[in-house]
Amino acid sequence: MECLITYKFEEIEILSTIRLGIGRIIVVGDRPNVPSSKIFKNLGIEIEEKASKIKPGSKIGEIVHGVLDMISSAREKGNEPIILLPHDRRISIGMYIARGENKNRRSADIPVCCP
């Protein structure tokens, strides 16, 4: 079951956050002019480092391989991988690493599906 819930923080539109075993995926509206740091600040996520960026217009296969590499690298360090994913594929996808102490903090979570 897929649920799409929209949250707005000022001009930032967060369409959904999804927690998987691999980490957290945050899907945002197409707002390339909003800095990622502002999105994370509004979600209560403290970022350890920016891991990588996948270029706009990348093919799906390149995106999947790039994301999997970044996720395994983050997990080796014991941190939570976070993928910031604009729903328009023409905009670059950012991969970030959250500080380890935040990975179990429930207050930073935004629910994505109805119970």
Q: Is the pTM of this model over 0.85?
A: no
Decide if 113 is inside a domain: no
DSSP 17: E
Question: How confident is the prediction along the chain (115 residues), in pLDDT tens digits per residue?
Answer: 344 444 454 555 666 666 666 567 677 666 556 677 777 777 777 777 666 666 666 666 776 677 777 777 777 777 777 777 665 555 555 656 665 443 444 434 444 433 3
- Number of domains the chain contains: 1
Tokens of 47: 């970022």
Q: 77: domain range? A: 7-108
Decide if 26 is inside a domain: yes
